[in-house]
C-alpha cells in the first residue's frame, strides 16, 4: 500500500472516490459546503459510531474493515478527524488499522524460504495490497501521525507473518536468526544463550521443555536503550515454536494451530522494533525463551523434578503445561538484571479463552497503578483486555507437591488461567511491578471476519508499545530499583 498526502486541497482524480470518515451527519453537509466542486456521488461515507466500549475500539474496527475491503486506490479526507481534540492519536490509529486490515499472508511466496532467510522474506510474505495507493487529504500537517500509524500497522503485520509461517520453516534456529537480523537492522544489542549457558544458569524450565527436540533451546535477549541512566523495563514473550504437548500429547484438534504458540515472542519482537523505529525514550530488555515441546526418548516425563533459575524446584505434573516453565526462567533472568517492571505476553491457557472468549485478552497484575496505566494504553489504541484475579488461594494448590517446591499443574481445580498466573507470580519479587497477558484466544483468528484475516493477529503489540513509550516519557515515581542492563 502506497501512502501520499495532499494538504489543504483535493487532488481529484476522475476514477477515485473520496472516502469521508465522519461522526455526525451534519459533518457531511459541512464538508460539501467547504468543497463545492466535489460531486456528492464521489463521496464514500465511513460512519464512526460508538458501538464498542470506547470510541477508539469502534474506530479501529471500522478502519480495519475498510482496509480489508479495499480494492481500488482512493482518497481519504481527514476533515472530521482533524477536528478531534486528540486528532493526532486518532489519525495514527486510523492509519494503523487500515494497514492491519489490508494484511494477508502471501502463502504463494512461502517457497522463497527454501532460498532466503525468514527476515529477508518477511516483506514478500506480508501482503498489504501493495497495488493500491491511498491519498490522505489533510488540512494541517499530520505527516508524523500518519507515518507512526503506518509504521505501527506494518510492524504488527510482520509479527503476524512470523506467526503464520509453518513450523518446518521456523524452528528455534530460524527464529533466533530472525531476531538477530531484526536487532542488527535496528542497531540493537542481542545475546543468544544456548544449552551450555542455560545449564550454567540452571535454567531447568527452559531446558526441560526442550529436551525432546533435536535443536538447542535458546534464551534470546535484546536490549534497547533510549534513555540513558534510567531504569529498564523487561518484556517477555513466550516462544514455543511448536507445542505437541510432550508426553501428554495433544489430540489432532488440540494440536491444530500449535505453530502459533510463539505469537507472544513474535509480538514482543515487533514491540521492540517499533520502539527502536520511534526512537522511544525508554530502556527495554526483551527476554524470549525459545523451545519446541515435542516427544523423543529424552523428553521430560510426568513426575520429573527440575531446578529453575530462581533455585526453586518444580514437579512436572503435566508436560503440556510447558509455557509457565520457560516463562519462570525468563522472569528470573529479568529479575537478576535489576529491571523495574516486567510485562509478559503468552499464549498460556485455554482456561482464559473459555472465560473471556476470542476477542478479549486476559490480564493479571500485582500492582493496581501499573495495571491502570497499561489499561490507558489499551484503550488509547482500541484493544480489549479484562482483569482476572491474583490471590493466595491460587498459590496454595501449586505448593502441595510431595517432591518439589511447586507443581506446574493442578488437575481438577479449574481456574486454570489463575493457577498459571499464580505459578508465575511465585517468581516475581514483591517490589517489581508485573503484568501478565494471556492471549490464547486473541492471538489467532481461526475464522474469517469482516475486518481481519484468518491467522495470527499481532494482538496487544500496539498497546504494549504505547505503554512502553509513555512509560519513558512520563515522570513516574521511582521505586528505588537500580538497573544493571548496561
pLDDT confidence of 486, banded at 50, 70, 90? very low
Mean pLDDT over each residue of the chain, to the nearest integer: 94
In the set 148, 324, 373, 384, the catalytic residue is: 324
Closest C-alpha to 261, from 338, 203, 209:
209
Answer whether residue 159 shows pLDDT above 70.
Answer: yes
Asked whether residue 177 falls in the same domain as residue 132, the answer is: no
CATH number for the domain spanning 58: value is: 3.40.220
What are the tens digits of pLDDT across the range 33-60?
A: 888 877 777 789 999 999 999 999 999 9
Mean pLDDT to the nearest integer, 432-441: 98
Q: Do 367 and 300 belong to one domain? A: yes
Interstrand relation of 283-293 and 218-225 (parallel, antiparallel or unpaired): antiparallel
With a cut of 50, say whether residue 483 has pLDDT above it: no
pLDDT at 476 over 80: no
Q: Do 383 and 460 contact (CB within 8 A), yes or no?
A: yes
Task: Give catalytic status of residue 470 as yes or no.
Answer: no
What pLDDT score does 139 carry?
Answer: 85
Task: Give me the percent of the chain exceeding a pLDDT of 90.
Answer: 86
pLDDT at 475 over 60: no
- Residue 160 inside a domain? The answer is no
In a shared domain, residues 263 and 328: yes
Longest dimension (CA), the chain: 81
User: What pLDDT is attached to residue 419?
Assistant: 98
pLDDT of residue 298: 95
Give the per-residue pLDDT at 8: 55
- Whether residues 175 and 146 share a domain: the answer is no
pLDDT band at 480 (very low <50, low <70, confident <90, very high): very low
* Residue 484, in any domain of the structure: no
Check whether residue 177 and residue 127 sit in a common domain: no
- Whether the per-residue pLDDT at 344 is higher than 50: the answer is yes
DSSP three-state, residue 186:
coil
- Answer yes or no: do 136 and 242 share one domain: no
- The pLDDT, as a whole number, for residue 140 is 87
Q: Would residue 374 count as lying in a domain?
A: yes
Active-site residue identified among 13, 42, 189, 250: 250
Quote the strand ranges of 41-157, DSSP E. 43-47, 74-77, 104-105, 126-127, 133-138
pTM of the full structure: 0.95
Summarize pLDDT for 2-32 with one digit per residue, the tens.
Answer: 998 887 555 555 557 889 999 999 998 898 8
**Residue 11's pLDDT is what?**
55
| Number of domains composing the chain | 2
pLDDT band at 477 (very low <50, low <70, confident <90, very high): very low
Q: Do 195 and 136 share a structural domain?
A: no
DSSP 157-181: HHHHHHHHS-GGG--HHHHHHHHHH
Backbone angles phi, psi at 362, to 5 degrees: -85, 140
Smallest CA-to-CA distance from 77 within 153, 36, 135, 121 is with 135
User: What pLDDT is recorded for position 467?
Assistant: 98
Q: What is the C-alpha separation between 222 and 313, in angstroms, rounded?
A: 28
129 catalytic per annotation: no
119 and 222 in a single domain? The answer is: no
The verdict on 297 and 412 lying in the same domain is yes
Is 180 found in the same domain as 140? no
Could you tell me which residues are beta bridge partners of residue 105?
Answer: 126
Going by C-alpha positions, the residue among 24, 17, 128, 154 that lies closest to residue 77 is: 17
Residue 39 lies inside a defined structural domain of this protein: yes
Q: How do residues 96-130 score in pLDDT, each as one tens digit?
A: 999 999 999 999 999 999 999 999 999 999 999 99
Look at the chain and count its residues. Answer: 486
Average pLDDT over residues 231-248: 98
21 by Cβ neighbours in 10 Å (0-12 / 13-18 / 19+) ranks as buried
**What is the domain extent for residue 96?**
2-155
Write down the pLDDT at residue 31. 87
- The 10s digit of each residue's pLDDT in 267-321 is 999 999 999 999 999 999 999 999 999 999 999 999 999 999 999 999 999 999 9
Spatial separation of the C-alpha atoms in residues 318 and 248, rounded to whole Å: 7
- The SS3 call for residue 328 is helix
**Per-residue pLDDT, 474:** 66
Q: How confident is the model at residue 324 (pLDDT cuts 50, 70, 90)?
A: very high
- Look up the CATH number of the domain holding residue 380: 3.40.630.10
Cβ atoms of residues 91 and 85 within 8 Å = no
For 26, 70, 189, 471, the CA distances from 39, given in Å and listed in that order, are 17, 21, 55, 47
Q: Cβ(192)–Cβ(215) under 8 Å?
A: no
Amino acid at each position: 500500500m502506497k501512502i501520499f498526502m495532499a494538504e489543504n486541497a483535493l487532488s481529484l482524480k476522475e476514477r477515485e472516490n473520496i472516502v469521508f470518515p465522519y461522526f455526525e451527519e451534519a459533518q457531511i453537509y459541512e464538508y460539501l459546503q467547504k468543497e463545492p466542486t466535489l460531486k456528492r456521488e464521489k463521496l464514500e461515507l465511513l460512519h464512526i459510531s460508538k458501538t464498542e466500549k470506547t470510541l477508539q475500539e469502534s474506530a479501529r474496527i471500522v478502519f480495519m474493515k475498510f482496509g480489508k475491503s479495499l480494492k481500488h486506490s482512493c482518497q481519504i479526507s481527514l476533515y472530521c478527524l482533524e477536528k478531534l481534540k486528540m486528532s493526532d492519536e486518532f489519525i495514527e490509529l486510523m492509519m494503523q488499522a487500515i494497514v492491519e486490515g489490508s494484511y494477508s499472508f502471501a502463502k504463494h511466496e512461502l517457497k522463497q524460504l527454501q532460498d532466503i532467510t525468514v527476515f529477508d522474506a518477511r516483506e514478500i510474505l506480508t501482503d498489504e495490497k501493495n497495488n493500491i495507493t491511498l491519498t490522505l487529504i489533510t488540512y494541517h500537517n499530520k505527516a508524523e501521525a500518519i507515518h507512526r500509524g503506518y509504521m505501527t500497522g506494518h510492524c504488527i503485520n510482520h509479527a503476524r507473518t512470523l506467526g503464520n509461517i509453518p513450523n518446518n520453516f521456523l524452528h528455534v534456529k530460524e527464529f533466533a536468526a530472525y531476531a538477530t537480523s531484526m536487532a542488527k537492522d535496528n542497531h540493537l544489542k542481542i545475546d543468544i544463550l544456548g544449552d551450555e549457558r542455560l545449564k550454567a544458569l540452571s535454567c531447568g524450565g527452559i531446558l526441560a521443555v526442550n529436551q525432546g527436540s533435536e535443536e538447542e533451546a535458546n534464551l534470546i535477549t535484546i536490549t534497547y536503550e533510549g534513555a540513558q541512566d534510567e531504569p529498564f523495563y523487561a518484556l517477555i514473550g513466550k516462544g514455543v515454536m511448536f507445542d505437541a504437548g510432550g508426553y501428554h500429547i495433544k489430540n489432532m484438534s488440540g494440536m491444530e494451530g500449535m505453530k502459533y504458540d510463539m505469537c507472544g515472542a513474535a509480538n514482543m519482537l515487533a514491540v521492540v522494533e517499533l520502539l527502536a523505529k520511534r526512537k522511544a525514550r525508554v530502556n527495554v530488555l526483551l527476554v524470549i525463551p525459545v523451545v519446541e515441546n515435542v516427544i523423543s526418548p529424552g523428553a521430560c516425563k510426568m513426575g520429573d523434578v527440575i531446578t529453575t533459575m530462581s533455585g526453586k524446584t518444580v514437579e512436572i505434573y503435566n508436560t503440556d503445561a510447558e509455557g509457565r516453565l520457560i516463562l519462570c526462567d525468563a522472569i528470573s533472568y529479568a529479575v537478576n538484571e535489576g529491571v523495574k517492571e516486567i510485562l509478559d505476553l503468552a499464549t498460556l491457557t485455554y482456561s482464559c479463552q473459555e472465560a473471556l472468549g476470542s476477542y478479549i485478552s486476559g490480564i493479571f497484575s500485582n500492582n493496581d497503578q501499573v495495571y491502570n496505566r497499561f489499561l490507558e494504553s489499551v484503550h488509547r489504541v482500541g484493544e480489549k483486555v479484562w482483569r482476572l484475579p491474583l490471590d493466595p488461594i491460587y498459590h496454595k494448590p501449586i505448593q502441595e507437591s510431595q517432591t518439589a517446591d511447586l507443581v506446574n499443574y493442578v488437575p481438577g481445580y479449574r481456574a486454570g488461567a489463575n493457577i498459571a498466573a499464580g505459578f508465575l507470580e511465585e517468581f516475581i519479587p514483591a517490589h517489581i511491578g508485573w503484568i501478565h497477558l494471556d492471549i490464547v484466544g486473541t492471538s489467532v483468528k481461526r475464522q474469517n471476519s469482516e475486518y481481519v484475516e484468518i491467522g495470527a493477529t499481532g494482538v496487544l503489540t500496539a498497546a504494549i508499545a504505547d505503554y512502553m513509550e509513555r512509560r519513558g516519557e512520563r515522570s513516574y515515581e521511582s521505586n528505588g530499583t537500580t538497573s544493571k542492563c548496561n
